[in-house]
Amino acid sequence: MNQMHTNSSEPDTADIVLFTVHDDGAALAWPRARAQVLLVQRSWDSDAYPGALALPGGFVDDGETSVQAAYRELREETGLEVPTLTRVGRYDAPGRDPRGPVVSEAFTTVLSTMPQPTAGDDARAAFWVPLHEALSVPKVLAFDHHQILTDAHTLVRDQLNQRCGWSTAAGWARAERGGRDMTNGNEWHLRRKKSMWDGSVTTWCGLRFESGEHESDFWHLPATGGTCQACQAAKRTGK
């Protein structure tokens, strides 16, 4: 469907950035996980960027929201259904689409599986591409899709790194903080945090309340380890 919503603040099109960190049949196999992104090859009959590589996407139909269009376009162009989509942003730079002022809204999600896409509608082909390859050649993607991909990557990388699991505490220490004795039972401890995105490990230090329910005041430590000021203070005072 190809309708431009001129004089409207509603987006005209929706684009989808679908990532997977699936690797060799072992979901989230750290640290081998290699991110991939789903691309399509546009039809040779397209009135913009015929035959070019692009993110899946298309025009919003009448009566449809942009996110509904995103789910539909993903299904029509790649045969894939996803459970959720997160908004990346709105793209309205003049000249982003050679056909005129076309405003696009982009959505993203990360899969832990790597389903086989089936090209349909106005996509000639649909396939997974290593993310680093797609990011490294800006001019290869149609429209401003390289910018959309870059923004989606930043968004999901930060989210995945926040959500990723804590592994075993590397060290424990009772602590004083700024000379104030923490409530009995509260503990400072080091934890190593492994990124779901690239498998990199960082070390953090934080406070765990006795209830075990809350963790706060985390310090990011060098990858080589070490202790934060609170743990150093604890060592000195022997608490």
Ligand X SMILES: O=P(O)(O)OC[C@H]1O[C@@H](O)[C@H](O)[C@@H]1O
Q: Which residues bind ligand X (CB under 6 A)?
A: 2, 13, 15, 46, 48, 54, 57-59, 97, 102, 104, 122, 143
126, 78 in Cβ contact below 8 A? yes
CB of 86 to ligand X, least distance (A): 17
Choose between 88 and 230: whose C-beta lies nearer to ligand X: 88
Choose between 79 and 199: whose C-beta lies nearer to ligand X: 79
Return d(Cα 14, Cα 17) in angstroms, integer: 10
For the record, the structure tokens of 65 come out as 């929201």
Residue number closest to ligand X, CB atom = 57
CB of 196 to ligand X, least distance (A): 28
CB of 102 to ligand X, least distance (A): 4
For the record, the structure tokens of 54 come out as 């692009």
Choose between 33 and 152: whose C-beta lies nearer to ligand X: 152
Cis peptide before 31 (omega within 30 of 0): yes
CB of 37 to ligand X, least distance (A): 14
Question: Can you point out the beta strands (E) in 120-214?
Answer: 123-130, 166-173, 176-177, 180-181, 187-194, 201-208
Tokens 């025009």 belong to residue: 59
